Amino acid sequence: MTKTVLCYGDSLTWGYDAETIGRHEYKNRWPSVLQAALGSEARVIAEGLNGRTTAFDDHLADCDRNGARVLPTILQTHAPLDLVILLLGTNDMKPVVAGSAFAACQGISRLVRLIRNHAWPFEFDGPEILIVAPPAICATGNVPFAASFPGGIEESAKLATLYRDLADELGCGFFDGNSVAKTTPIDGIHLDAENTRALGRGLESIVRMMLGI
């Protein structure tokens, strides 16, 4: 039976292209690359929103970016699910949102609890959960982005260790995005086409293991 994977994330999952100030081609986005790698054995759903946080409000946004608030509706929409991949935390580095890796880790913990305690329809079993640490923020000459993430380079570098420990504590899978991809210095936040493809390829092995395919 075909497995269903939900990729829940922010602009890295949406496919923001810092070079064009647009969106990567569909084939280059990491969920699309993962889908191609898994083939017919799985269906990969990309649920990415620019600016999405783990569990915090962004009062400057023109839509609801609080990942915890909208997650239950998204889970219900796509049920049943075999695996949920959480790739969030970069936007939590903004001081106007949360401003620390510790806060982002707390937010991820909240998302895991929401998934585990969700009232799944038709007595569907709950999915496995894979926590992915986003590639760390890098230095950039882009003034607006640099000003939006003061201290973000140092704080985002802490995410992988915190997320790994959290995954161990909660019994989730873990993958360090820094092991295969790095952010572009164009804005310090996003992935170019090569690196977003690398993320999709890098995730294949652990996703196959967690799905048993």
**Integer Cα distance of 165 and 11 in angstroms:** 25
Per-residue pLDDT at 199: 99
**Integer Cα distance of 144 and 190 in angstroms:** 14
Q: Confidence class of residue 20 from pLDDT cuts 50, 70 and 90?
A: very high
Residue type, 46: A
Q: Confidence class of residue 153 from pLDDT cuts 50, 70 and 90?
A: very high
> How does pLDDT run across 182-205, given as a tens digit for each residue?
999 999 999 999 999 999 999 999
> How does pLDDT run across 35-80, given as a tens digit for each residue?
999 999 999 999 999 999 999 999 999 999 999 999 999 999 999 9
* Residue positions counted in the chain: 213
Per-residue pLDDT at 187: 97
Superfamily of domain 3-211: SGNH hydrolase (3.40.50.1110)
**Integer Cα distance of 117 and 109 in angstroms:** 12
Per-residue pLDDT at 181: 99
Per-residue pLDDT at 176: 99
Per-residue pLDDT at 115: 99
**Per-domain residue ranges of the chain:** 3-211
The dihedral through the CA atoms of 159, 16, 113, 167 has a sign that is negative
Percent of the chain with pLDDT over 90: 99
Residues with Cβ < 8 Å from 181, sequence gap 6 or more? 135, 191, 195, 196, 198, 199, 202
For the segment 146-169, the average pLDDT, to the nearest whole number, is: 98
**Integer Cα distance of 50 and 152 in angstroms:** 17
Three-state SS letters, 99-165 = CCHHHHHHHHHHHHHHHHCCCCHHHCCCCEEEEEECCCCCCCCCHHHHHHCCCHHHHHCCHHHHHHH
> How does pLDDT run across 86-113, given as a tens digit for each residue?
999 999 999 999 999 999 999 999 999 9
Average pLDDT in the chain:
98
